[in-house]
Amino acid sequence: MDVGAAIVLVVLVFVLLGAGVWIGLALMGVAWIGMELFSPRPVGDAMAVTIWGASSSWTLTALPLFVWMGEILFRTRLSEDMFNGLAPWLERIPGRLLHTNILGCTLFAAVSGSSAATCATIGKMTLPELAKRGYPESMAIGTLAGAGTLGLLIPPSIIMIVYGVTASVSIAQLFIAGVIPGLVIAGMFMAYTIVWSLLHPDAIPRPERRLTLIEKLKASRHLFPVVALILAVLGSIYTGIATATEAAALGVVGALLVAASQGVLSWRTFVESLLGATRLYCMIALILAGAAFLTLAMGYIGLPRHLAEWIHGLGLSPLALMLALMVFYIVLGCFLDGISVVVLTMGVVLPTVQAAGIDLIWFGVFLVLVVEMAQITPPVGFNLFVLQGMTGKEITWIARHAAPLFVLLIAAVLLIYYFPGLVTWLPRQMM
Amino acid sequence: MRALLDKIYLGAGYLAGFFMVLILLSILTGIAGRLFGIDTPGMDAYAGYSMAASSFLALAYTLRRGEHIRVTLILQQLGPRGRYALELFAHAAAVCLSFALAWFSVRLVWQSYVFNDVSQGLDATPLWIPQIGMAVGAVLLLIAFVQGLVELLITRRTVEGREVTAPIE
């Protein structure tokens, strides 16, 4: 009966999603049919109450605000500023301006919650500038695709808010937990770029005129707005002055101030950013609504508990469990976007994770890492879509050149497995 | 008819944007209240209600703009006839599901009103009031999907306005 229920539900998920039913509605459909078949509870009213509760929960309010903040910053000159501020410092490192991709994404990730937005905002500046200077296209696009995924890991992070709300974990702690792994991965990406450049010395253009230290410092003033925003958002969370939601509100105000100071804040750009954020959040909200209902239905059917007991009974080692979950998420991530992957599986996987005694903050970071991989795996990967739109290259071409960074992300998962302190140390230092 | 409906969706989209601003203002009011020691009860709840209203009111508008995501992997592999058949299935399923969502969202408002359901938080809002946003948005989504299905049958365009046989981005 139980195995039967599981098979029916999995088949339903595949049929509805595969047929191209809008994802949030497809999840609702699976939940509805599952509940009708395997539970005596009346379905419709339970659905409406659950969806209302999930859609109006205040812990989630950080999400639309961070989305809006990203939409405002996308319309500012922040990416130009960051390029101009970073470039002078990178002429001596092998790979030179290729690092503007990685460092730019790392910095921007600290004010942006989404991988696609990070990719689009940084790439809007670096791709044309790198192409103009003759940098190899494959490396410019590949490193951007990979580094853009840091938008998810380095706080603020939309996916962490989604996970935190679903798993009832402190969003502020999750955010802070992502900082060190994010910096480590940025370091790994830079190391890869350096090694590649040393192996292909002819591919990297000659350095431009060396600037004096004073000139470099002067150029760095361009970085001031982004650094100020990072301090306002992350600083207020880390010191405990603000909750994640309040930090998001401050972030929106800060982004508006940056836009105003650059003279790009008109009524039109304000409304455009607002409607853009409204649509993007609405798309996410529909998926979250469907997922909330699906989680409820799964709970009634008792599937997650049985799955947890079954996996527990297998007696897997923690490493084996983690590797199995990683493979499972990578496969799922090939066909679905990150948020859908998380919300679709959370209700089922979480009891298993808890039964295995895995720290939920650590698991959140693990989950973000595998979702990062999902952003750059074909055929469905949002960073690939963004870069396809920007460069006109084939998705498979982009994915091939992002593949080394995909491998580095897998290495990062092993790293946080063997050194869990990378994740758990910083949140413990919070007040 | 079509132009009128699109205007309604757009209007609801602007309203959704207005509620997005209200989320921000509710949170900022809460922060300001704490800074200046003024009691501002229930601001968290108002932010949540605004968020629900914003997301639901924007549903139809976002749908017509083609920004609700779905898996197009199989659609892309099919020939024109198979694609049309599958689109029909997806649109019909969406009509059924959005009907269920709309029906029970409206019923939720009605039940909250009849049973005088009040928020458990400090705001003590009668819940049927904020739930109206959800009901209106869900009904608009249903209308948009019904319109989408009809247009698919007549003009062979999807609810996003894409030709069934056109390449998918």
Q: Does the beta-carbon distance from B24 to A277 stay under 8 Å?
A: no
- What tokens appear for A68 in the block? 């809006």
Interface contact flag, A29 B27, Cβ < 8 Å: no
Lookup: tokens for A87: 């470039």
DSSP 3-state of B157: strand
Residue stretches of chain A with pLDDT short of 50? 1
Residues written for chain A? 431
What is A88-131 written as a DSSP string? Answer: GGGTTSTTTTHHHHHHHHHHHHTT---HHHHHHHHHHHHHHHHH
* Chain A residues whose beta carbon lies within 8 Å of the beta carbon of residue B24: 65, 68, 249, 252-253
Query: How far is residue A88's CA from residue A97's CA, in Å, rounded to a whole number?
Result: 9
Please report, in angstroms and rounded to a whole number, the separation of the first and last CA atoms in chain A. Answer: 49
Contact: A23, B17; criterion CB under 8 Å: no
Which residues in chain B are closer than 8 Å to A292, comparing Cβ atoms?
none
Bridge partners, B118 (sequence order): B126
Q: Are A106 and A90 in contact (CB under 8 A)?
A: no
Which of B23, B149, B162 best tests the A interface by mutation, with the highest count of A CBs <10 A?
B23
What is the per-residue pLDDT across B111-139, written as a single tens digit (0 to 9) for each? Answer: 999 999 998 887 889 999 999 999 999 99
Average pLDDT of the segment spanning B10-30 = 97
Give tens-digit pLDDT for A327-370: 999 888 888 888 888 988 888 889 889 888 899 999 999 999 99
How high is the mean pLDDT of chain B?
A: 93
Q: Quick check: A336 and B71 CB within 8 A?
A: yes
Give the C-alpha separation, B94 to A52, whole Å: 19
Share of chain B above pLDDT 70, in %: 99
Residue B102, pLDDT score: 98
Q: Which of A16, A20, A242 sits opposite B75 (nearest CB)?
A: A20
Residue pLDDT, tens place only, A168-201? 999 999 999 999 999 999 999 999 999 999 999 8
**What is the number of residues in chain B?**
169
Q: Using DSSP, state whether A55 is helix, strand or coil.
A: helix
Cβ neighbours of B104 in A, within 8 Å: 44-45, 47-48
Which residues in chain A have Cβ-Cβ distances shorter than 8 Å to B61? Answer: 279, 282
Query: Which residues have C-beta within 8 Å of that of residue A141, sequence separation ≥ 6?
Result: A127, A387, A391, A393, A398, A401, A402
- Contact between B34 and B113 (Cβ < 8 Å): no
With a threshold of 0.90, does the pTM exceed it?
yes
User: Is omega for the bond preceding A156 within 30 degrees of 0, making it cis?
Assistant: yes
pLDDT band of residue B58 (cuts 50, 70, 90) is very high
* CA dihedral sign of residues A132, A134, A137, A141: negative
B164 with B80: CB under 8 angstroms? yes
Instruction: Report d(CA A95, CA A103) in Å as an integer.
Output: 13
Please name the member of B90, B100, B105 whose beta carbon is closest to the beta carbon of A21: B90
Side-chain half-sphere exposure of B27, counting CA atoms within 13 A: 30
